[in-house]
Amino acid sequence: MGRSTLPTAGAGDKSGTMRALVFYESMFGNTHRMAEAIAEGLSAAIPTSVLPVGSADHDALAAADLLVAGGPTHVHGMSREATRQEAVRQAGVEESDLTLEPAASRDGIREWMESADNLPRLFAAFDTRADAFKWLTGSAAGQIAKVLRRRGSKQVVPPGTFLAPDNDADGTEVDRAREWGRALGEAALAG
């Protein structure tokens, strides 16, 4: 997965020198799709890059003031190596229509956050999860937020959680992700 940078539209001079990085983990592409939608909304206010975990782009991280970190919900929280291996196994089943992301990596957002140096001063967290009540599914985003707070970064908006878009024929969740990104951009500039 290459790096994409979305130009800022309509932000006037409000965005100043602030830059955002949407950094995502994704096995089957769901979180990737939401990351792109969030970046679309966010880039209305702040120049925004989108990168998968595993791309190890230290320059993009060093340049970012706002980190938007997301991943899939696995076993009610952030993925682990065993759950990522399970995802790889599921994609390999003959009758499966799941396709692994090119950047599906051995390291997930959990491992990356623990090892990253110089995290941006601001963050927001998001996840994707199954289409059921949150108390049943769990949500990775709250855990992501907890780690980033512990590491000294300041949360801009409450975590965003989005349903896997495979059941999202009308695009409602993608729209919601774009809107969450837009609101995040405004909050980051206002704060």
Of residues 51 and 122, the one with the C-beta less far from ligand FMN: 51
Of residues 103 and 116, the one with the C-beta less far from ligand FMN: 103
Work out how close the CB of 116 gets to ligand FMN at its nearest, in angstroms, rounded to a whole number. Answer: 20
Residues that bind ligand FMN (CB under 6 A): 26-32, 72-76, 83, 86-87, 90, 128-130, 137-138, 164
CB 90 within 8 A of CB 96: yes
Burial (Cβ within 10 Å: 0-12, 13-18, ≥19) of residue 22: buried
Of residues 34 and 67, the one with the C-beta less far from ligand FMN: 34
Work out how close the CB of 52 gets to ligand FMN at its nearest, in angstroms, rounded to a whole number. Answer: 10
Of residues 14 and 76, the one with the C-beta less far from ligand FMN: 76
Work out how close the CB of 16 gets to ligand FMN at its nearest, in angstroms, rounded to a whole number. Answer: 32
d(CA 162, CA 164): 6
d(CA 170, CA 174): 9
Of residues 127 and 186, the one with the C-beta less far from ligand FMN: 127
Residue 153 DSSP SS3: coil
Closest CA to 49 of 12, 105, 7: 7
What's the token pair of residue 89? 């196994």
Q: Give helix 172-190 / helix 30-42 axis angle, nearest 10°.
A: 40
Work out how close the CB of 31 gets to ligand FMN at its nearest, in angstroms, rounded to a whole number. Answer: 3
Work out how close the CB of 115 gets to ligand FMN at its nearest, in angstroms, rounded to a whole number. Answer: 21
